[in-house]
Amino acid sequence: GAVVSQHPSWVICKSGTSVKIECRSLDFQATTMFWYRQFPKQSLMLMATSNEGSKATYEQGVEKDKFLINHASLTLSTLTVTSAHPEDSSFYICSARVPGGAGDTQYFGPGTRLTVL
Amino acid sequence: GDSVTQMEGPVTLSEEAFLTINCTYTATGYPSLFWYVQYPGEGLQLLLKATKADDKGSNKGFEATYRKETTSFHLEKGSVQVSDSAVYFCALRLTGTASKLTFGTGTRLQVTL
């Protein structure tokens, strides 16, 4: 099946720095990718929808200037957490939508754990 | 708003036991319903789905039936294996919402010998 990778799998950074997380579709092209955030013992919360070649669509309450999303190619979307603070520590998961896939299937990456000190 | 409620885990079962993970939903329209599974160190994988009332999704011995009258989509398996140990997420997607999924909190299943 379709494979989505994320890099890095985990990252620790100092407060005030920026961190970039990459999401790649390895064997298919994805016009749409999604970014989720998951807190411990909570559900995945959709942060934004990333469309190749256009601006991302952010969910209500998500700061677009803090969570910068770039979907510059059909196989790569990046999420940059700018000026990270400890409250940004979380598990970030991306998914990629298979164009024309049966039932509109999304394939998920393994996630990136961000810890901000 | 739309939401999904799952039973809290962890659920610990012996191998070959019967599994039920409850899932109920609240939605303004007629959602499609999904179960995703996340094995350790891996991304979520679609396990099964149902797109309309009374549909039964099934895969790898797991099954779930879309019950509109009880707004439920409980996951069942007749005989679990150690390899089924994972976190299971119930999710819904409303028609016409550009693939936006609403997830439950996930239920961790631990199967022991």
Between CA B26 and CA B23 the distance in angstroms is 10
Tokens of B105: 């909190």
Q: What is the pLDDT, as a whole number, of residue A52?
A: 84
Q: Which of the residues B51, B99, B100, B108 would you substitute to probe the A interface, choosing the one with the greatest number of A C-beta atoms within 10 Å?
A: B99
In angstroms, the separation between the Cα of residue A104 and the nearest Cα of chain B is 7
Cβ-based contacts of B105 with chain A (< 8 Å): 41-43
Nearest to A110 among B42, B93, B104 (CB): B42
The dihedral built from the CA positions of residue B109, A35, A102 and B66, taken in this order, carries a sign that is positive
Q: Which of residues 16-45 of B touch A (CB under 8 A)?
A: 32, 36, 38, 41-45
Contact A41 B93 (CB under 8 A): no
Give the residue from B43, B41, B44 showing the smallest Cα distance to B91: B44
Contact B103 A93 (CB under 8 A): no
**Residue B26 pLDDT exceeds 90:** yes
Kindly state the percentage of chain B with pLDDT values over 90: 74
Kindly state the percentage of chain A with pLDDT values over 90: 68
Cβ-based contacts of A108 with chain B (< 8 Å): 36, 38, 43-45
Q: What is the pLDDT, as a whole number, of residue A19?
A: 97
Beta strands at B75-77 and B56-59: parallel, antiparallel or unpaired: unpaired
SS3 content of chain A, % helix, strand, coil (to 5): 5, 50, 45
Give CA separation, A58 vs A46, A50, B40, in Å: 9, 9, 29
DSSP string, A24-64: EESSS--SEEEEEEE-TTS-EEEEEEEETTSPPEEPTT--T
**Span A54-73, pLDDT tens digits:** 889 999 999 999 999 998 88
Q: What average pLDDT does the segment B78-104 reach?
A: 88
Beta strands at B11-14 and B107-112: parallel, antiparallel or unpaired: parallel
Q: Which of the residues A43, A57, A62, A94 would you substitute to probe the B interface, choosing the one with the greatest number of B C-beta atoms within 10 Å?
A: A43
**Residue B57 pLDDT exceeds 90:** yes
Q: What is the pLDDT, as a whole number, of residue B22?
A: 97
**Span A22-38, pLDDT tens digits:** 999 998 888 889 999 98
Tokens of B28: 């303004």
**Residue B68 pLDDT exceeds 70:** yes
Task: Confirm if A84 and A63 have CB atoms less than 8 A apart.
Answer: no
Contact B36 A4 (CB under 8 A): no
Q: What average pLDDT does the segment B23-38 reach?
A: 92
Give the residue from A20, A31, A18 showing the smallest Cα distance to A95: A31
3-state secondary structure of A61: coil
Between CA B6 and CA B22 the distance in angstroms is 6
- State whether residue B50 sits within 8 Å of chain A by CB: no
Q: Which of the residues B101, B102, B105, B107 would you substitute to probe the A interface, choosing the one with the greatest number of A C-beta atoms within 10 Å?
A: B101
Nearest to A41 among B32, B98, B105 (CB): B105
